[in-house]
Structure 1
């Protein structure tokens, strides 16, 4: 039998494949020689496919990696894994690829931390907002003289108290009424006065005192504190336009405050009721047309809805002093008291948004007797965009109204939250609430023996808050006890003041009228400084980094440094998931076909007749 040989004819246009001397068919005991030096002339595609199909497992992985590098859109990868590329070129591209990857991940890390820890930016709003879009502030006037001496002469009683105690060692001439008034006054007197008198009064065991109502009974009446006011160009009596409000400073008078039923979830949470009802149509000059009826609603997040000229809370459309708030208040010499509240004469004036309660620990204006004070308001209005709701609370550092429900208050604000936290902490420590605090209906008001307790509780809470704030700067996961973040939509009132001396006697005589002793007169004028909110007082809280912004930034960084796009990640998934599975399936098929051919070769070796 003659030996049969196939002649290989080279056809034009067809690349010659490697012969068996370069890549033999694999048998059971033999593997293809892929690393031979003769492969330098073999096309890289043939080498890569041969590695994947016929090489060892490690060689197949290398082949798959080469195939990915050859097809990948990532810059520099193809040059590192190219088959016939010189080593120095591979090192060159490896170095710069690593540098690009390093800078890409460094920039992405920076973008990620901005998105995670500071995703909110507070910027200026370019839109001009007219003053009638926001309410006029709630103005709280707190006289420093707290007790009407026609009702209770604290100076005489306190001095008589000390004289008898020093002389006889006990008190016998004070009536129960005087003891009750004295015990109630301890809640508003200076701390050193309380330290002197509280232990002595406790020994006498004064009768039960309704502290809040007693302080209201002792306070100087509204018509004595002030004579008249003007608002939006209309004249009012002081007592007809201001409400009584109980604060930490004692009994104060409030203009444009919201009703307790609109501030608190239940009016029974506060321990007093103001019988007076403010009617803005109850002005003096009746020739001025009346206000329309109040309709619609207002909230800080939605603004005024369907409200006309007579709005609730009140607003103004002009920035002049004539259309602002003016009050003439007076101080009577017989009410000046240097025994209970030392060195404090005049008025403290607070400004806050109508939905909040005034915090006496906040900024205030101290108005002295005999001064004329002009207050120009500069509202600080912070609005929030809808995109801010997508960011977690701990990242945006503020609460929307629906996110933080308070126990006592209908609306969330930082002032309301701090007030509620202090009230809850005081009740937990002392079993009672201070006379001005909101509280559950069954919780008593703190009495004379509890003054030291609620004072210590307040100091303890402030110390805890300070320590937690300092610790949070180091450990971000520390939980704050009150957690009173600012509201995402908030309204505050900054102010500029100017003052001058005011002599009411000389002013009256200048009108050629007889002057009656009206006490020491003081004028307070409050108005908006500007007709519209300019860009320096209207702020908008919006997202600096959202998820879409983060993805866009990361995509831009990847594209700039490495040429990676969305399809580059699909390539990774395709090559290292789908192609791996397909390659291993082909290798198993090749092994199955190699076994019969190997057996046929073995038979030809044993039977020489099969060779011919």
Structure 2
């Protein structure tokens, strides 16, 4: 029974030890409130009471015993005072109240931390070091003249007038004005770059069997590179512009491009585009008497930068921000080529700046260079880099795509403008069964003809409306999916610019140089593009709340309010798994032993 002494025969001294109570002891204890602690067990050590509850008590008593055992061992603050055997009730209530308040604040702060990790785990900030301009390529400059055709080759105003006069008279076209097949072919091709209202007025009446090679026809009708740009200057050296310009098809028609990547380096298959300029710009071979720079070798990508390339590189770069090392082009136009029947009343040149790996989006911002003006463009790069640990987050959380995450069907490298271009091309193909002359397309998809002009214009308007509606819906419901989902690239390069403009009087300039020019309707413009500074500040996309940070913050909050550490969690799992299983095993053995004792007693 409880508290019996045992005599030590070896030392002749008496010592008292406590053994576990008889199992029937708990059956004799009164069950009314407070009697267990105050009457029967007031002097019994708590360890014996806990073990007895677990091994011999009822299920409820065993659960309480397990909680008492855990509370004596846990490092969580305050728990032991709630479940301690001899602790007065009011003290237990006091500690329960304090622990509840601490737990409330801990959970609230942890929830706020979790929401911050969910909503804004990534932050955009300035990089710690300045980036010199020679680390990035000079912008790709695309010059799109408003003069689309040479009037001596094809006069759109005269041909369209004859075409329209017959339509106005007979409401049909049977070529009563005796237009040549070549003139009708050129008209059908030119309609693709005319203003929308002009194109949609003529297109339904163009004969269905007139199917020109739109891109090649527009190149043949355009003014030559050398006539539009007689001379250029790059990195302090003068060139004939036709030696450093490429023809490139855009939504604005055929444009002249400097420092763009070749089609084979932009597209997965260069046959995806309907026109490629056969004249490849080769900066290994210079066209001036000065000694040439190093031969171009190595490669460049937006993610890795320049690899094994010297000062002379592909794409081109510059080490200085002065106007002397800028890109300069003298652009000329003739009034007899001005065309107000196809295009708007605005004359001059649209200039687009973009990163070399992307195609120019002519629907975006552009620089207008009017005839008779000098325009100075000061460029400030916007270079965004991202740390590798951003791969741990989904693109939706970081709001960008890495190049290895988003596959584009037509383009080698992912960029927002390339994605938008592919999205428009795919949508146009699905709606019209053809692609506009400048769009990338599969090899088996034809180029749209004049009869399809209304279709692809409508498709573009429909796509813009869909994207606008989806974007507005996403502000109210985060689960709304946006078609194509063209988020920015995690590593991106764009060019912001500032413009200075002044009047340029070509006639007085020629007179000042004592020169004579043979054309009386000649108008000139000057364009200069240069970096504003030698170095610039890049933008760095970094992780502000990683998984490690979240765990550390939550652990700090739990440690402050509850004294919980990682081992406390392991300890909790241990007590209610391994220890629980062991106690249940001992409990079954004890019950089995009791049953055997009862059977022996009855016998």
Q: Same fold (TM over 0.5)?
A: yes
2:200 to 189, 195, 202: 195
Gaps (5+ residues) in structure 1?
Answer: 1-5, 604-612
Quick one: structure 1 residues 160 and 31, their matched pair in 2 at CA, closer, same or farther if it must change by over 3 Å? same
Distance 1:592 1:155 in 2: 109
2:431 to 429, 433, 440: 429
Q: When the two structures are superposed, what TM-score results if normalisation uses the length of structure 1?
A: 0.91
Distance 2:576 2:585 in 1: 14
Quick one: structure 1 residues 206 and 242, their matched pair in 2 at CA, closer, same or farther if it must change by over 3 Å? same
Distance 2:591 2:445 in 1: 86
Distance 1:428 1:542 in 2: 39
Output aligned runs, 1:156-195, within 5 Å. 156-167=158-169, 170=173, 171-173=175-177, 174-195=179-200
- Name the structure 1 match of 2:589: 589
- Name the structure 2 match of 1:483: 485
Q: Is the 8 A contact 2:141 2:352 kept in 1?
A: yes
Q: Is the 8 A contact 2:5 2:15 kept in 1?
A: no
- Name the structure 1 match of 2:502: 500
Output aligned runs, 1:220-299, within 5 Å. 220-280=223-283, 283=286, 285-286=288-289, 288-299=290-301
1:405 to 386, 407, 423: 407
Quick one: structure 1 residues 598 and 344, their matched pair in 2 at CA, closer, same or farther if it must change by over 3 Å? same
Distance 2:129 2:239 in 1: 35
Q: Is the 8 A contact 1:31 1:54 kept in 2?
A: no
Distance 1:567 1:219 in 2: 77
Q: Is the 8 A contact 1:28 1:595 kept in 2?
A: no
Quick one: structure 1 residues 503 and 84, their matched pair in 2 at CA, closer, same or farther if it must change by over 3 Å? same
Distance 2:480 2:15 in 1: 73
1:330 to 329, 332, 336: 332
Distance 1:469 1:14 in 2: 84
Q: CA deviation at 1:336?
A: 0.8
1:376 maps to 2:373:
no
- Name the structure 2 match of 1:608: none
Q: CA deviation at 1:28?
A: 11
Q: Is the 8 A contact 1:300 1:490 kept in 2?
A: yes
- Name the structure 1 match of 2:218: 215
Q: What secondary structure, in the 3-state scheme, does the structure 1 residue paired with 2:193 have?
A: coil
Distance 1:272 1:79 in 2: 83
Which range moved further: 69-78 or 234-243? 69-78
Q: CA deviation at 1:256?
A: 0.1
Per-residue CA deviations over 1:403-451 (Å, capped at 9, x if unaligned) read 2221111111111111111111111111110010011122111001100
Gaps (5+ residues) in structure 2?
Answer: none
Quick one: structure 1 residues 116 and 36, their matched pair in 2 at CA, closer, same or farther if it must change by over 3 Å? closer
Quick one: structure 1 residues 482 and 599, their matched pair in 2 at CA, closer, same or farther if it must change by over 3 Å? closer
1:79 maps to 2:72:
no
Distance 1:471 1:399 in 2: 22
Q: Is the 8 A contact 1:377 1:526 kept in 2?
A: yes
Distance 2:99 2:362 in 1: 62
Q: CA deviation at 1:129?
A: 1.3
- Name the structure 1 match of 2:36: 35
Output aligned runs, 1:69-148, within 5 Å. 69-148=71-150
